[in-house]
Amino acid sequence: MQINFFLKVLLVVWFCTFFTLITSCTKKTESAVTNTSSRIVNLIIWSNYVSPELLARFEKQSKIKVQVSNYASNEELLAKLQAGATGYDVAVPSDYMVFAMSKLGLLHELEPGALSNFKNIDAKFLKKSFDPQNRVSVPYDWGTTGIAVNRKLYSGELKGWKNVFHNPKLKGKFTLLDDVRETIGASLKCLGKSLNTKNTEDLTKAKTMLLKIRDELKGFTSEPMMPLVQSETAVAHAYMSDALQARNKSKNP
């Protein structure tokens, strides 16, 4: 399996009420944030990234109500915020989107020392290039992406992306993640190039390959689990968690 690493981070977005980490807001955001007295936190997060049981426990212990909204891609989240969507307290985008959102002024800085459990976070996940001082983010989750296959629909060889991108038997039967960096990464791996290349020629070749296979795709989705389980998709570019859940839900993993 060809694998990329991705890092999800917990962000403070126009953040004034969650655990009283931020005690003040700019005039620009005062009307958009949750009223402290209402004891409500508005969380926008990828689907299946927090269990209902955990939320129930948190609400019972803290007496704070969590209202959850979902998005299917980092770009969708960014578009929502840039279009003027307000009222979100916490968001969970990927690492590179932290940098973009911070540059656009969409994030509120964390109050130093406000997170008592910060000291328990593994140092290898801290002080990354997108937020070197962890001023606007803390790690929430990490995992891998790769190739997930429904063996009821496809029993052929599947050792890497070449078996997916150049396979007439999979025409119209495979999906890619709705994530620019992930799809470019898969194309680069297929070409035998580094996921982190900055070489313009390599990136152009990766783009060209994706354009060539576009008509062979079933589509782009960041939620491939159920299509795999329901045998709607033979092969999916998937996050590790979705692949594992699909295997567990399937009678023929």
150-249 fold: D-Maltodextrin-Binding Protein; domain 2 (3.40.190)
Q: Which of 108, 80, 84, 143 is nearest to 24 (CA)?
A: 108
In this predicted structure, what is the pLDDT of residue 136?
A: 92
Weakly modelled stretches of the chain, pLDDT under 50: 1-5, 12-36, 253
One-letter amino acid identity for 15? F
How distant, in Å, are the alpha carbons of 59, 62, 91, 163 from that of 41? 10, 11, 11, 45
Residues carrying CATH 3.40.190.10, the chain:
8-141, 150-249
Over residues 99-136, the pLDDT tens digits come to: 999 999 999 998 888 888 889 989 998 999 999 999 99
Domain 8-141, CATH among 3.40.50.300, 3.40.190.10, 3.40.50.620, 3.30.70.2660: 3.40.190.10
d(CA 178, CA 183): 8
Please enumerate in sequence order all residues whose Cβ is within 8 A of that of 55, keeping only pairs 6 or more positions apart, or say none. Answer: 66, 68
H or E, element range at 4:
strand 4-12
Q: What sign does the dihedral 25-27-33-36 (CA atoms) show?
A: positive
In this predicted structure, what is the pLDDT of residue 210?
A: 96
In this predicted structure, what is the pLDDT of residue 147?
A: 95
Q: Which of 117, 99, 118, 91 is nearest to 14 (CA)?
A: 91
In this predicted structure, what is the pLDDT of residue 142?
A: 85
Q: How many CB atoms lie within 10 A of CB 150?
A: 23
